[in-house]
Amino acid sequence: MQRRSFLKKASLGAVAGTAAVAAPAFAQDMPTLNWRMASSFPKTLDTLFGAAEQFSKYLSEATGGKFNVRVFPAGEIVPPLAVMDAVQKNTIEMGHTSSYYYYGKDPILCFDTAVPFGLNARQTMAWMYDGDGTKIIRDILKPYNIINFPMGNTGVQMGGWFRKEIKTVEDLKGLKMRTAGFAGEVLSRLGVVPQQLAGGDIYPALEKGTLDAVEFVGPYDDQKFGFAKVAKHYYYPGWWEAGAQLSLYVNIDEYQKLPESYKALIDAATRATNVTLLAKYDNRNALALKTLIAQGAVLHQFPRPVLEASWDAANQVYAEFCAKDPKFKAVYDNYMGYRDTQVPWFRVAEGSYDGFISSMLSRKK
């Protein structure tokens, strides 16, 4: 017994010794880096801002504290809508943002986040990870000296909060609405006056009446902002963001200096964060929606004529942009071609299943 005990202890000691020697040897070969990341989102959004924090934690733990990224909330070192410029100029090494915020630079950037009547969250991930999406978006961002990684998806968003009920297309005319990216271009064709504001500025504008309507993400985040206190009509679906993707931006010059292992870890950490953020929204939105309704929010589906008018306006805008910009047309054709291939499959599988479950649950009420 004593001999077996001795051998067991010796073996464990050898394993422990090997680990003790091997881990520092690996660490010593790797550079210690302390990077900065600016977020376009405030700390109050534990979902969106929290995704960047989660990524940073993954990276630090995977490298034994050798690769550290300090995350700054919107406005702390970079204005929320200036993250792209800061990464491009190497003011910061990394940024976490939504590419459609930079619609003014080039509308084609919106395909990295969401466009009206585009891909849902799972279809977006499929396009990025197993289709042509990553290559296409990286080609778009390369002139800005940025390499991108998908890093979070909200899932299909809500249509937003309105001070008055929307019964017809006419009710949209003259409406001052906070929205972003391509949605604003399409909604403007329906008479809406789009306003682009960062997250932290939305509630004060709605409260003061500077805005008549806002859309942000969905029930969980909307509850935090308190939109229901000043605009009780809550509409769905957010047809302009069926699967809004957030992106990690990395300055290409800094990225190219990294060891290959660090590059691989960035890719792995962004994938993990991508899945986790969508899971958080799926879990939390369901609970938050019940709470909002209990607090007085009035839930509405956009009337069919409003959705059809929006569809027509979106296709008109797309046709105009395709006609004047061959690069836009090439991306549009690939992206929408992918959507048109995916939708029949989702209708057969996911759509039929969800529809049946929903009808059975309705019978229980």
The SS3 assignment for 343 reads: helix
Token duo for residue 89: 């100029």
Token duo for residue 130: 């197993």
350 secondary structure, DSSP code: I
Token duo for residue 285: 């939105």
Q: Which residues contact 71 (CB under 8 A, 6 or more apart)?
A: 37, 39, 49, 52, 53, 56, 96
pLDDT of res. 364: 76
Domain boundaries, the chain: 24-156+243-283
pLDDT of res. 203: 83
pLDDT of res. 365: 65
Cα–Cα dist 236/226, whole Å: 18
CA angle 45, 46, 48 (to 5 degrees): 65
pLDDT of res. 199: 64
pLDDT of res. 142: 98
pLDDT of res. 27: 59
Task: Give the orientation angle of helix 121-129 with respect to helix 133-141, to 10 degrees.
Answer: 80
The SS3 assignment for 151 reads: strand
Token duo for residue 144: 């800005």
Name the superfamily (CATH) of residues 24-156+243-283: Bacterial extracellular solute-binding protein, family 7 (3.40.190.170)
pLDDT of res. 148: 98
Q: Are 236 and 158 in contact (CB under 8 A)?
A: yes
Q: Where are the beta strands (DSSP E) in 91-216?
A: 94-97, 146-153, 160-162, 176-178, 193-195, 213-214
Beta bridge partners of 234: 161, 299
Token duo for residue 328: 């836009």
Q: Which residues contact 30 (CB under 8 A, 6 or more apart)?
A: 63, 66, 67, 259, 261, 262
pLDDT of res. 206: 87
What is the model's pTM? 0.89
pLDDT tens for each residue of the chain, 365 residues long = 444 443 334 333 433 433 433 444 445 688 999 999 999 999 999 999 999 999 999 999 999 999 999 999 999 999 999 999 999 999 999 999 999 999 999 999 999 999 999 999 999 999 999 999 999 999 999 999 999 999 999 999 999 999 999 999 999 999 999 987 789 999 999 999 998 776 667 888 888 888 999 998 999 999 988 899 899 999 999 999 999 999 999 999 999 999 999 999 999 999 999 999 999 999 999 999 999 999 999 999 999 999 999 999 999 999 999 999 999 999 999 999 999 999 999 999 999 999 999 999 988 76
Cα–Cα dist 168/170, whole Å: 5
